[in-house]
């Protein structure tokens, strides 16, 4: 499964963007605070070292230093590191000490400001230790060596412990900010996204304007979109109603003369000629019915309802078998999620697919399956299949797999167009593909699963 780092929903994207911005802001804040804390530590520890170096130089000038100062006997470093040493040779730091060039640079700058001409200045930091009672809290021991007038003045100082408290504070601060900021953002994003989800469901379920207008709620931009959709759907509904009235008039005006013509044809004495004329009239009537079906597809007055796909297929198979047609399946009824829509229109689309399979392959098999949040109602045949390059063209009106227009070999080429239009009217699609295991074709009506609360 492919990992998706960027969410698809509006709420997810907004929350992730705000969370990332907060994280970056807190990271910058941490860097600045850590730098300030480090500079403060150098100011404290380096200032102490500079003061001791200046004091040592002053005392030496007055001849007041006979031997290096020692740490108090109770101090944990009393046996290891004096507070002040004046050496004739370079100082050798303890093995665990690590160099700290920033501290050395800070001490050098302070000595220069104090007017002391110092040579090479080096600094080291020992691991973290507990301070004495007088200087509470964790701290690190700092050692500074300054070459002055050919001698080496070595002093011990203290640096505050590295910012573990600061890190803990920033962690809690970040969590608090997430709670205080992300919760309102999540609420606002949900308030904006909920009407959009309702709008999306309405577009998929009822794009033609048969349902009631959607409630205009949410932010002003979202309300404007919902208002525009309501107005557009109302106009579409008006145009569809006008189209249905026009088609009804056209169908009535054409069927009436065709019926009259057939009555007159019955009076023709030549039986062979009469049969051909009747067949032509019947073909024209059937073609007219198909054309009207394509024009009216998806515009039925049937109310939407929940229905079971497996039961619908089983009833359709029984209907064809009762007429002596070679239609198998769907086998044992599967446990499929409920579908919401107009089952009569779905049955009509499946009938067109079954009729195509019977016309081109002589038999059909029905079955249903659930794939990726949708239900596939499949009509399978063992015919010659379709050229893959022509599959997209065959769902267009009047497109056929063969060049003739003989209704005995398939009709006027409107069956797949009707099925495709009906499937799209139900929020689904028509999926046609050659079978990979053998010859034949799978024609499926793919319908979305009803959202479960």
Measuring CA to CA, how many Å separate 439 from each of 175, 381, 409? 61, 9, 19
> What does the pLDDT look like over 119-145, one tens digit per residue?
888 888 887 665 544 445 567 778 888
The percentage of the chain sitting over the pLDDT mark of 90, rounded to a whole number, equals: 7
Interatomic CA distance for residues 262 and 281, integer angstroms = 7
Domain 302-448 has CATH 3.30.565.10: yes
Q: How confident is the model at residue 249 (pLDDT cuts 50, 70, 90)?
A: confident
- pLDDT of 129 reads 61
Q: For the packed helices 10-61 and 101-113, what is the interaxial angle rounded to 10 degrees? A: 50
In this model, does residue 222 exceed pLDDT 90? no
Looking only at Cα atoms, what is the longest distance across the chain?
150
- 410 CB-contact burial (10 Å; exposed 0-12 / middle 13-18 / buried 19+): middle
| Plot region of 209 (φ>0 → left; ψ -120 to 50 → alpha; else → beta) | left
CA–CA gap between residue 313 and residue 307 (Å, rounded): 11
Q: Could you tell me the strand order of the sheet in which 327-328 lies?
A: 327-328, 364-371, 374-381, 441-448, 429-434
For residue range 336-370, list pLDDT tens digits in order: 888 888 888 888 889 889 988 998 889 999 999 88
Q: In whole numbers, what is the pLDDT of the chain averaged over residues?
A: 77
Give the pLDDT band of residue 297 (cuts 50, 70, 90).
low
Average pLDDT for 308-333: 87
Specify whether the CB–CB gap between 360 and 384 falls below 8 A.
yes
Predicted pLDDT at 166: 61
Q: Residue 333 has what pLDDT?
A: 65
pLDDT of res. 132: 45
Residue 115 is predicted with a pLDDT of 78
Radius of gyration of the chain, Cα coordinates, nearest whole angstrom: 44
Sheet of strand 151-160, all strands in order from the earlier edge strand to the far edge: 84-87, 151-160, 138-148, 121-130, 98-99
Question: What pLDDT, on the 0 to 100 scale, is given for residue 174?
Answer: 78
Q: Which tokens sit at 19?
A: 């969370």
Task: Specify the pLDDT at position 76.
Answer: 45
Q: How far is CA 138 from the centre of its chain?
A: 48
Position with higher pLDDT, 70 vs 420: 420
**Rounded Cα gap, residues 147 and 137, in angstroms:** 32
d(CA 230, CA 417): 29
- Quote the pLDDT of residue 127: 73
Q: Which of 40-44, 191-195, 229-233, 349-353 has the lowest mean pLDDT?
A: 40-44
Strand 327-328 to 364-371 pairing: parallel
Identify whether 330 is preceded by a cis peptide bond (ω within 30 of 0): yes
Angle between helices 10-61 and 164-177 (to 10 degrees): 160
C-alpha span between 375 and 445 (Å, rounded): 8
Please write down the HEC assignment for all residues of the chain. Answer: CCCCCCCCCHHHHHHHHHHHHHHHHHHHHHHHHHHHHHHHHHHHHHHHHHHHHHHHHHHHHCCCCCCCCCCCCCCCCCCCCCCEEEECCCCCCCCCCEECHHHHHHHHHHHHHCCCCCCCEEEEEEEEEECCCCCCCEEEEEEEEEEECCEEEEEEEEEECCCHHHHHHHHHHHHHHHHHHHHHHHHHHHHHHHHHHHHHHHHHHCCCCCCCCCCCCCCHHHHHHHHHHHHHHHHHHHHHHHHHHHHHHHHHHHHHHHHHHHHHHCCCCCHHHHHHHHHHHHHHHHHHHHHHHHHHCCCCCCCCEEECHHHHHHHHHHHHHHCCCCEECCCCCCCCCCEEECHHHHHHHHHHHHHHHHHHHCCEEEEEEEECCEEEEEEEECCCCCCHHHHHHHCCCCCCCCCCCCHHHCCCCCHHHHHHHHHHHCCCEEEEEECCCCCCEEEEEEEECCCCC
Taking only the tens place, the pLDDT of each residue in 63-93 is 655 444 444 444 444 445 677 777 878 888 8
Q: Are 75 and 132 in contact (CB under 8 A)?
A: yes
Asked if residue 52 has pLDDT above 90, the reply is no
């Amino acid at each position: 499964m492919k990992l998706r780092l960027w969410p698809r929903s509006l709420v997810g994207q907004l929350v992730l963007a705000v969370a990332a911005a907060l994280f970056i802001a807190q990271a910058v804040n941490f860097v600045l605070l850590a730098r300030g804390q480090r500079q403060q530590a150098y100011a404290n520890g380096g200032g102490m070292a500079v003061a001791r170096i200046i004091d040592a130089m002053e005392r030496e000038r007055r001849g007041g230093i006979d031997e290096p100062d020692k740490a108090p006997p109770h101090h944990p470093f009393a046996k290891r590191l004096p507070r002040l040493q004046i050496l004739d040779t370079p100082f050798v730091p303890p093995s665990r000490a690590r160099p700290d060039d920033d501290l050395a640079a800070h001490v050098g700058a302070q000595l220069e400001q104090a007017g002391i001409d110092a040579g090479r200045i080096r600094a080291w930091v020992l691991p973290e230790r507990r301070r004495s009672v007088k200087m509470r809290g964790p701290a690190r021991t700092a050692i500074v060596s300054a070459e002055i007038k050919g001698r080496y003045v070595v002093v011990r100082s203290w640096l505050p412990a590295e910012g573990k408290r600061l890190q803990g504070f920033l962690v809690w601060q970040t969590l608090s900010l997430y709670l205080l900021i992300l919760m309102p953002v999540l609420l606002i994003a949900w308030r904006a996204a909920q009407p959009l989800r309702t709008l999306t469901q309405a577009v998929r379920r009822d794009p033609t304007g048969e349902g009631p207008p959607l409630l205009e709620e949410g932010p002003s931009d979202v309300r404007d979109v919902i208002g525009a959709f309501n107005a557009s759907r109302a106009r579409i509904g008006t145009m569809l109603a006008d189209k249905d009235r026009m088609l009804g008039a056209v169908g009535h005006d054409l069927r009436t003369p065709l019926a009259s013509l057939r009555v007159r044809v019955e009076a023709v004495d030549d039986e062979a000629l009469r049969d051909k004329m009747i067949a032509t009239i019947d073909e024209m009537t059937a073609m007219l019915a198909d054309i009207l079906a394509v024009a009216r597809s998806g515009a039925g007055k049937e109310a939407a309802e929940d229905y079971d796909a497996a039961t619908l297929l089983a009833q359709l198979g029984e209907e064809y078998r009762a007429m002596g047609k070679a239609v198998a399946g769907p086998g044992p009824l599967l446990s499929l999620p409920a579908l919401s829509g107009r089952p009569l229109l779905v049955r009509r689309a499946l009938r067109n697919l079954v009729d195509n399979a019977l016309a081109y392959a002589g038999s059909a098999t029905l079955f249903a399956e659930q794939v990726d949040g949708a239900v596939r109602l499949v009509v399978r045949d063992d015919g010659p299949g379709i050229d893959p390059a022509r599959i997209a063209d065959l769902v267009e009106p009047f497109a056929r797999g063969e060049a003739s227009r003989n209704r005995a070999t398939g009709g006027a080429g409107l069956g797949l167009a009707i099925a495709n239009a009906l499937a799209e009217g139900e929020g689904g699609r028509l999926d046609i593909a050659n079978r990979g295991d053998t010859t034949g074709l799978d024609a499926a009506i793919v319908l979305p699963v009803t959202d479960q609360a």
